[in-house]
Amino acid sequence: MDVLIVLLGGFLLLILTTLALKRKAFVDKINALPGPPSVPILGHLLYITKHNFEALAAAIEQQTKYPNGFKFWMFCFPYVFLNTVESVEAVLSSVHHIDKSPDYSTLHPWLRFGLLTSTGAKWHARRRLLTPTFHFRILDQFLPAVNEYDLKLFYHPSGQKFAMMEMKCIIAHMLIKLRFLEAYPGYKPELTGELILKSKNEQVLLRVEQRH
């Protein structure tokens, strides 16, 4: 009996040691990336509190300090921000590193398990179906509309921050421009007021209001 306990204890210790070494190797790789100083356990949480818990504002500030990219630790979870086209392209063009972060689970009730949210065999099957439908120049016709509304998102007329509902209005305008959404009769492309949009695919009414 004592021998069995020793063997089980040794086996458990071996498993824990292996997991600890893998975790250490992963943490070392993340910490090798540039980024602001962090504290044990909390990571960069205290840094984000200085920005009133606005993670986006904190990330934008760090983007000027680390133009090639940087890391953020939220407790034991790392986030890597990529700021260059080359690094983003390397990630998006990969057919191996396609596992999504746990944050994507919040999109499952809305988007289900398509190309954006799936992984593994389902992702590869969706990718094979989608790839032949796109020529590398097919999206050029949409660039003017995307650029126009990107600038409206970036340069706010009043110079103030966006409210979430206001951002939704601008995104809805862009989707109408790209013909992903159909406007209701009498719709006028204004950034103020109320929009009632109808999805072409699912015939679902979407009501977007700007709140002040």
Q: Is the torsion defined by CA of 17, 18, 19, 23 positive or negative?
A: positive
- Integer Cα distance of 179 and 78 in angstroms: 37
Q: 43: helix, coil or strand?
A: strand
pLDDT at residue 25 greater than cutoff 70? yes
pTM across the whole model: 0.53
pLDDT tens per residue, range 148-190: 766 666 655 555 555 555 556 666 666 666 555 555 555 555 5
With beta carbons less than 8 A apart as the criterion, state whether 106 and 138 touch.
no
Residue 10 has pLDDT above 80, yes or no: yes
Question: pLDDT tens digits for 107-164?
Answer: 777 777 777 777 777 777 777 777 766 666 777 777 777 777 666 666 555 555 555 5
Model confidence at 90, pLDDT cuts 50, 70, 90, reads confident
pLDDT at 211 over 50: no
